[in-house]
């Protein structure tokens, strides 16, 4: 009887342990479910984390790193072709990199499982090639460019297209939002919450500053000689006008000279 009761007590202890363990794992399961719903789980989460760290590390290189990695037309013409790739990784500063990390996390949550990893690699490569070709062939005045925003726009366009093909309602909404954002930035400039510093610098000459019109006095006589109390005499070959107080004026006998050349 004691042996049977001992077995029963052990079974009860195991059941209680299982219940406690199962109840303690509920928060973990919820976190895992949330990460999976955002496409931040498993291999996808590791790739996202590595990409965000890469963007931050490139920005921590400071000004020397930005000068070495940015898209630079003169440097590309000299044969520094790596800039066609690194320009989309380097940023102006840490704040700029964090903004693009946030954008990457957003498009990752929306579209990460819409394509395979190989397909996404092809999408990113195609976006980079299209941006580089457009800058090189269509904008001769552009001096330099940095940032991942262009590639992120390509990723968002590919994801919205995948949703449209499946007939999902958010596909049309995402497409309209992307077109509206690009149109606003083209016609009105950067959005208020985007990077404050320019990521594209153009060398197009701006309008020359207006200069105030020159005021030409038709009377070459010095102002001091125009007084009714001053008599001015031009000295030949010297270009000087010698002024003397007129009779009856104060300070009689004082002379002054003015260059008329």
Q: How many CB atoms lie within 10 A of CB 165?
A: 10
Q: Give the pLDDT score at 249.
A: 45
**Fold category of 38-202 in CATH:** Rhomboid-like fold (1.20.1540)
Residue pLDDT tens, the chain, 261 long = 444 444 444 555 545 544 444 555 777 788 787 778 788 888 899 999 999 999 999 989 889 999 999 999 999 999 999 999 999 999 999 999 999 999 999 999 999 999 999 999 999 999 999 999 999 998 888 889 999 999 999 999 999 999 999 988 888 999 999 999 888 887 876 666 554 444 555 444 444 445 555 555 555 555 555 555 545 545 454 444 444 444 444 444 444 444 434
Calculate the CA dihedral of residues 157, 162, 166, 169 and round it to 10 degrees. -30
Q: Give the pLDDT score at 154.
A: 94
70 contacts 146 by C-beta, under 8 angstroms: yes
Q: Give the pLDDT score at 218.
A: 54
Reported as type and span, the H/E element at residue 45 is: helix 42-59
Handedness of CA 78, 83, 85, 87 (dihedral sign): negative
Domain residue ranges in the chain: 38-202, 223-259
Q: Give the pLDDT score at 140.
A: 85
């Amino acid at each position: 009887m004691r042996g049977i009761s001992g077995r029963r007590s052990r079974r009860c202890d195991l059941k209680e342990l299982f219940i406690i363990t199962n109840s303690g794992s509920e928060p973990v399961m919820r976190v895992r479910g949330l990460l999976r719903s955002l496409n931040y789980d498993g291999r996808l989460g590791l790739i996202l984390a590595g990409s965000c760290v890469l963007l931050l590390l490139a920005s921590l290189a400071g000004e020397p790193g930005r000068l070495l990695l940015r898209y630079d037309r003169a440097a590309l013409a000299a044969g520094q072709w790596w800039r066609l790739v690194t320009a989309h990784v380097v940023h102006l500063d840490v704040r700029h990199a964090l903004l693009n990390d946030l954008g990457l996390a957003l498009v990752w949550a929306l579209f990460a499982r819409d394509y395979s990893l190989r397909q996404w690699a092809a999408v990113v490569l195609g976006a980079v090639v299209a941006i580089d070709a457009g800058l090189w062939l269509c904008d001769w005045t552009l001096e330099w460019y940095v940032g991942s925003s262009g590639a992120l726009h390509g990723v968002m366009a590919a994801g919205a297209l995948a949703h449209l093909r499946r007939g999902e309602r958010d596909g049309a909404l995402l497409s309209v939002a992307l077109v509206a954002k690009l149109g606003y930035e083209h016609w009105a400039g950067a959005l208020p919450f985007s990077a404050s510093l320019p990521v594209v610098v153009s060398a197009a000459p701006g309008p020359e500053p207006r200069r105030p019109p020159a005021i030409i006095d038709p009377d070459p006589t010095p102002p001091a000689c125009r007084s009714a109390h001053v008599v001015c005499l031009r000295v030949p070959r010297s270009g000087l006008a010698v002024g003397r107080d007129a009779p009856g004026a104060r300070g009689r006998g004082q002379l002054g000279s003015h260059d008329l050349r």
